Amino acid sequence: MNLYLLGSAYVLILASFVSADVNWSKYNIYPVFANAPKCNLTTPIPGWSTLKNADGTLFTSSKRPIVLLAQQWDSSFLTTYAMQFLLEAMGYRVNVVVGTDNFTPSREFYDNVVDLELEIWPSDTPTLKNLTKTDGVAVSMGAVGYSGNVGFYVPTYMITKYPTLNFDFWRSYYNPQIISYFPPMGTGPKLDTPLSTCNGDPTSCVNGTYTPLQCRGYKSNCGELWAYDPSYSPDMVQRLLDGSGLNFTINFLGSNATQIILSAMAAKKNILFYNWSPTAFTSVQPITRVLLPGNNPSEYYKFSTSKGKTIDLTVY
Ligand SMILES: *[C@@H]1O[C@H](CO)[C@@H](O)[C@H](O)[C@H]1NC(C)=O
Ligand SMILES: *[C@@H]1O[C@H](CO)[C@@H](O)[C@H](O)[C@H]1NC(C)=O
Ligand SMILES: *[C@@H]1O[C@H](CO)[C@@H](O)[C@H](O)[C@H]1NC(C)=O
Ligand SMILES: *[C@@H]1O[C@H](CO)[C@@H](O)[C@H](O)[C@H]1NC(C)=O
Ligand SMILES: *[C@@H]1O[C@H](CO)[C@@H](O)[C@H](O)[C@H]1NC(C)=O
Ligand SMILES: *[C@@H]1O[C@H](CO)[C@@H](O)[C@H](O)[C@H]1NC(C)=O
């Protein structure tokens, strides 16, 4: 899927406001600025930074600071800081703020307290359509330029140990024998405190688990798929299991999932888990993505009988 830049309609047309006066907690944003150290250019770039107002003052540096919002992951910080450096090279002042764990792009655009958010995952942002189309308080400035991939992964040692089982291809999971390689449903790790995002809805998450119909029968034989939080790609993985009929339940492990996956891999266990790239985790760990059928919802929209609904997990 493409990741998006979201900017308020007022980017660069900057009214006067003082960001220090904003009650950031109202927007699920930390009340401190988190700028990268200034990028000190050895050769100043003439142009914007030297542009003058009629009274001789500098045009860009006389504007109020531009507020960029980063979310708490590496690529979001990377793109936000790259934008900070570009704007500073143009002479603008910049304030970087960071969303808390509960942050979803929303009210800050209505109240104009943030100008630009650099990396938006459409699959995790139910408010995106409202912000950019229905209410139109923000403008999507298009794809960031790198793709985000959400999908399932197995440790690479499973591929090398069992080369004929093709754990890296989704259709292999229709082989009934495959299930026996994974932890049986209900036997995997559990969180001490249930996730607040596990809402008890049987179509989403009950007691930390999603159990598709094919795994609810008396004789069902299902393995367990480990995931993070039901609010990541909301309901997409559940619907993927429904649609494919694959015999897996989902065990939601919150932010502890990474540590739990690493411990299981240290013990050379066979596991199937949800993850995504780009992240340092998927780059560095010896894991292999399971190839799922590609789905670009906009590409096949016209042929879909359930227009507007995403049926499969958007993975490339
Ligand atoms: C800031 O917003 C939070 C959350 O809405 C609220 O509880 C708090 O009272 C506000 N603080 C001020 C100083 O208005
Ligand atoms: C740029 O210069 C400032 C002031 O000398 C310094 O505080 C800052 O750390 C420098 N930034 C970098 C990235 O070296
Ligand atoms: C759009 O978001 C605003 C602010 O959160 C909300 O009041 C409104 O009901 C939403 N509209 C739709 C169609 O979801
Ligand atoms: C799931 O398990 C049931 C019961 O063992 C079996 O009948 C069915 O074929 C399995 N489905 C898949 C997709 O493997
Ligand atoms: C997450 O792991 C830590 C360290 O093992 C543990 O103390 C904590 O209780 C776990 N959190 C939950 C919600 O299980
Ligand atoms: C939820 O899970 C816990 C731990 O496995 C179990 O003890 C409890 O009975 C479950 N509750 C329900 C309502 O299924």
Whose Cα sits closest to atom 10 in ligand 4?
A: 247
Domain 149-303 has CATH 1.25.50.10: no
Q: What residue type is assigned to position 73 of the chain? A: W
What is the CA(95)–ligand 2 centre distance, in A? 16
The predicted model gives 260-283 an average pLDDT of 94
Task: Name, in order, each residue with C-beta under 8 angstroms of 44's C-beta and a sequence gap of 6 or more.
Answer: none
- Among residues of the chain, what percentage have pLDDT more than 90? 66
What does the pLDDT read at residue 301? 54
Q: Is the CB of 132 under 6 A from ligand 3?
A: no
| pLDDT tens-digit series, residues 167-206 | 999 999 999 899 999 999 999 999 999 899 999 999 999 9
Quick one: DSSP state of residue 169? B
- 214-251 pLDDT, tens digit each: 999 988 899 999 999 998 988 889 999 998 899 999 99
Q: What pTM was computed for the model?
A: 0.74
Position with higher pLDDT, 173 vs 296:
173
CA of 130 to the centre of ligand 3 (A): 6
Mean pLDDT of 301-307: 54
Q: Which ligand is nearest to the CA of 130?
A: 3
Overall average pLDDT of the 257-269 stretch: 98
pLDDT beyond 60 at 305: no
Q: Where are the domains of the chain?
A: 2-147, 149-303
Segment (H or E) for 259 = helix 257-266
* Atom 11 of ligand 3, residue of closest alpha carbon: 130
Q: Which atom of ligand 4 is nearest to the CA of 179?
A: 14
Calculate mean pLDDT across residues 131-143: 92
Distance from Cα 244 to the centre of ligand 5, integer Å: 32
Within 10 A of 37 (CB to CB), how many other CB atoms are there? 7
Beta strand extents in 9-87 (DSSP E only)? 66-70
